[in-house]
Each structure stands twice: as structure tokens, then as C-alpha cells.
């Protein structure tokens, strides 16, 4: 018997970043939107002990040792329930690795839900969310999907209403960016300035609730964008190529280097993706829609 769970990637439609806290993290007003690019995590009993395998275009960059977030998730659930994590986790990865789309977080949430079903632990949702938060700031959102406002370091979630379907294009860059390195660059760029406390934008929340793409485009912000551009200046060319091709707005996805383009409709999204691919400023461009559901058991 095995259990397969599908988990979405995310884009941050607002990422307001406060000053570094004493623990090194940053307080956020983080408006997450789950998008229709997915990883699938399959859990199968493995009597000989834990095993981890991975397939997909970026599989070579995924650590297959115990540092893998999916393996850590299985271990955390097993420990809490006095079980051995005797499971084979197989990751079918479609979310770019180190791309700012929470791919590792998706695998962690997927592994947790898959092992919970496989082992019959039936952990309450609150317990799963607690384990998620221990694993990483983005992991709770990967579990819940849809749209949510994340505060604290992004792990405390309030679900948000989304009144329609949004059309997105994602330009996947060559190579990844390290999330801690991007936050460090944010600290360097803001050194000596008064970084305001992060606040969610009412105009943005209202655009989401109405499903109004033009209004959402006018309110998208990412405080990590200057840091990602500073570490990877060529991303400016990708953003420009997407804007020129008809995107309503262009921004870096989370810590990057994936860039995100909001389109008014599916036909424009397809044109923007084709133009981005032809521009030679990215590895590949993908179209998708949002919101997408959170971690979902497929079988
Ligand atoms: C950029 C985002 O993806 C936006 O959603 C997240 O803030 C990052 O979330 P994540 O990858 O789950 O991050 P974590 O695994 O919790 O932390 C990795 C590192 O990112 C930095 N970090 C992360 C979250 C946060 N609120 N402040 C931070 O400064 C810290 O250096 C931390 O050591
Ligand atoms: N299951 C996993 N999949 C991908 N990377 C993983 C996984 N587990 C651990 N990692 C490590 O985490 C690093 C970040 O990978 P990930 O794909 O989660 O980045 P990201 O999408 O930029 O994250 P975020 O958007 O949450 O900041 C990788 O370089 C890799 O070393």
C-alpha cells in the first residue's frame, strides 16, 4: 500500500519584511497564494528503514540524505507518535528547486500528510501545522494552500478569501538562490535605515477577495526583490521581457530567482510565456492558475 499527496507551489503576492529579529528571522506580512505547479510525494512502507528517491528536471539538486525536508517531516511525525520512520518517500518534483516557490516546504507538507495517512496516526490538523512550523516558515502554508496572510516569520496563518481565478506565468531561472543569502542581502541593503514594521495591504487583500487581476497587479510588492536583483542583476531583463510581452505586473517570486508575471487571461499568459522563452532570459516559462488547493491525498 502507498499514499500519494499532491502539494502546490506558492507565490508571495505581498512580502513585507521587517527588521531582523534577535533570532535572525524577520517579521513578515506575507500574503501567500498557492499556484497550480505541484510536487507529488508518495509514501510506501520500507521495512528496511527510511529511503528517499526523487525524479524531475531538478532532481540532481535535491539532497537525498536526512537533511531533506520531506525526510525530516516523516521523522518529526514518527517521533511524536513513538514510531520508526520506516518509509520510502518518493518525490516527483515539478516545482523548481531553490526557486523561491517553496518546493522543499511543499515536499515537507506532502510527506507529513502522506505518512499520517500511511501510518494511521490521524494527527489533528493543529498538530500537523505545529510540526510544519518547526520544519520551516513556509511549510504551514504548503499544507493549507489557497491564499493566506502569514505573520510572525510567516508561519502564523490567517486564511484569505479569493474571489476568482488568476492567470500567472513563472519564468524559471538557471540555478537557484539561497533564501538565507537573500535575507542577508536585504539586511545589508537596509542597514542604517529605519525598516518599518510589516503591514498587510488592505488594497491588495481587497483585490484578492474580488478576484480583480488589474487591482492585484497594481498592489503586488516584494521587499526581497531588491536583494534578489542585487544578487542576480540579470533578473531585471527577465522582468522587463515579461512586462513588454503584456503582463499586467512582474515581480520576483519570494526569495527568487523565479520571476512571476500576472496576466489578464489565459491567452495573454500563453503569449507572455512564449515571449519569455524566446527572450533567452530564463531557462523555461510555465503558465498556471491560482488559487490551488493545499496538500491533497490522491490515493
Ligand atoms: C522567502 C519566503 O519563501 C517567503 O515566503 C520565506 O520567508 C522563506 O521561508 P523558508 O524557506 O521556509 O525559510 P526557513 O526555512 O524558515 O528559514 C530559512 C532562513 O531564511 C531566513 N528567514 C526566513 C523566514 C523569515 N521570516 N525570516 C528570515 O530571516 C533565515 O535566515 C532562515 O534561517
Ligand atoms: N525536498 C526538498 N526539495 C528541494 N530542496 C530541498 C528539499 N529538502 C531540502 N532541500 C534543500 O533546500 C534548499 C532550498 O530548496 P527549496 O526548493 O525549498 O527552495 P525555495 O523554493 O527557494 O524555498 P522558499 O521559497 O521556501 O524559500 C535546496 O537548495 C536544498 O538544498
pLDDT tens digits for range 198-213 = 999 999 999 999 999 9
Q: Provide the percentage of residues in the chain whose pLDDT is more than 90.
A: 100
pLDDT of 66 above 80: yes
Secondary structure of residue 57 in the 3-state scheme: coil
Does ligand 2 come within 6 angstroms of the Cβ of 102?
yes
Cell representation of residue 154:
510567516
Reported pTM: 0.98
Smallest Cα–Cα separation from 197: which of 4, 9, 21? 21
Q: How far is the CA of 194 from the centre of ligand 2 (A)?
A: 31
Q: How far apart are CA 159 and CA 151, in angstroms?
A: 12
> Mean per-residue pLDDT for 211-229?
98
Q: Is the CB of 137 under 6 A from ligand 2?
A: no
Active site (annotated) includes residue 138: yes
Q: What is the pLDDT of residue 216?
A: 98
CATH superfamily of 166-290: GHMP kinase, C-terminal domain (3.30.70.890)
Q: Where exactly does CATH 3.30.70.890 map onto the chain? A: 166-290
CA of 97 to the centre of ligand 2 (A): 6
Strand partners, 8: 38
Residues of the chain with CATH 3.30.230.10: 3-160+293-297
Q: What mean pLDDT, rounded, does the chain reach?
A: 97
- Does the structure show a pLDDT above 90 at 64? yes
Confidence of residue 190 (pLDDT cuts 50, 70, 90): very high
Residue 299 scores a pLDDT above 90: no
Per CATH, is 3-160+293-297 categorized as 4.10.520.10? no
What average pLDDT does range 19-46 have in this prediction?
Answer: 98
According to the model, what pLDDT value does residue 162 have?
A: 98
Closest CA to 204 of 188, 193, 218, 189: 218
Predicted pLDDT at 210 = 98
10 as an active site residue: the answer is yes
Q: Is 233 annotated as a binding residue?
A: no
Q: Give the pLDDT band (50/70/90) at residue 155.
A: very high
CA 162 from centroid of its chain's CA atoms: 18
Amino acid at each position: 500500500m502507498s499514499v500519494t499527496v499532491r502539494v502546490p507551489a506558492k507565490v508571495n503576492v505581498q512580502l513585507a519584511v521587517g527588521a531582523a529579529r534577535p533570532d535572525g528571522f524577520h517579521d513578515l506580512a506575507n500574503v501567500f497564494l498557492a499556484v497550480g505547479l505541484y510536487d507529488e510525494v508518495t509514501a510506501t512502507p520500507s521495512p528496511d528503514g527510511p529511503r528517499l528517491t526523487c525524479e524531475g528536471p531538478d532532481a540532481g539538486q535535491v539532497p537525498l540524505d536526512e537533511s531533506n525536508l520531506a525526510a525530516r517531516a516523516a521523522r518529526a511525525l514518527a517521533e511524536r507518535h513513538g514510531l520508526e520512520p520506516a518509509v520510502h518517500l518518493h518525490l516527483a518534483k515539478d516545482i523548481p528547486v531553490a526557486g523561491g516557490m517553496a518546493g522543499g516546504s511543499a515536499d515537507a507538507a506532502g510527506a507529513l500528510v502522506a505518512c499520517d495517512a500511511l501510518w494511521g496516526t490521524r494527527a489533528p490538523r493543529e498538530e500537523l501545522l505545529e510540526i510544519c512550523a518547526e520544519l520551516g516558515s513556509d511549510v504551514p502554508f504548503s499544507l493549507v494552500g489557497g491564499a493566506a496572510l502569514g505573520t510572525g516569520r510567516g508561519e502564523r496563518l490567517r486564511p484569505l478569501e479569493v474571489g476568482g481565478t488568476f492567470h500567472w506565468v513563472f519564468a524559471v531561472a538557471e540555478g537557484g538562490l539561497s533564501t538565507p543569502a537573500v535575507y542577508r542581502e536585504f539586511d545589508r541593503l537596509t542597514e542604517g535605515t529605519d525598516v518599518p514594521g510589516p503591514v498587510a495591504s488592505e488594497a491588495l487583500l481587497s483585490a484578492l477577495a474580488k478576484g480583480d487581476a488589474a487591482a492585484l497587479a497594481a498592489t503586488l510588492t516584494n521587499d526581497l526583490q531588491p536583494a534578489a536583483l542585487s544578487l542576480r542583476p540579470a533578473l531585471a531583463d527577465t522582468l522587463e521581457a515579461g512586462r513588454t510581452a503584456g503582463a499586467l505586473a512582474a515581480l520576483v517570486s519570494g526569495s527568487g530567482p523565479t520571476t512571476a508575471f500576472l496576466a489578464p487571461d489565459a491567452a495573454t499568459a500563453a503569449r507572455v510565456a512564449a515571449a519569455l522563452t524566446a527572450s533567452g532570459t530564463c531557462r523555461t516559462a510555465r503558465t498556471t492558475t491560482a488559487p490551488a488547493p493545499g496538500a491533497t491525498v490522491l490515493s
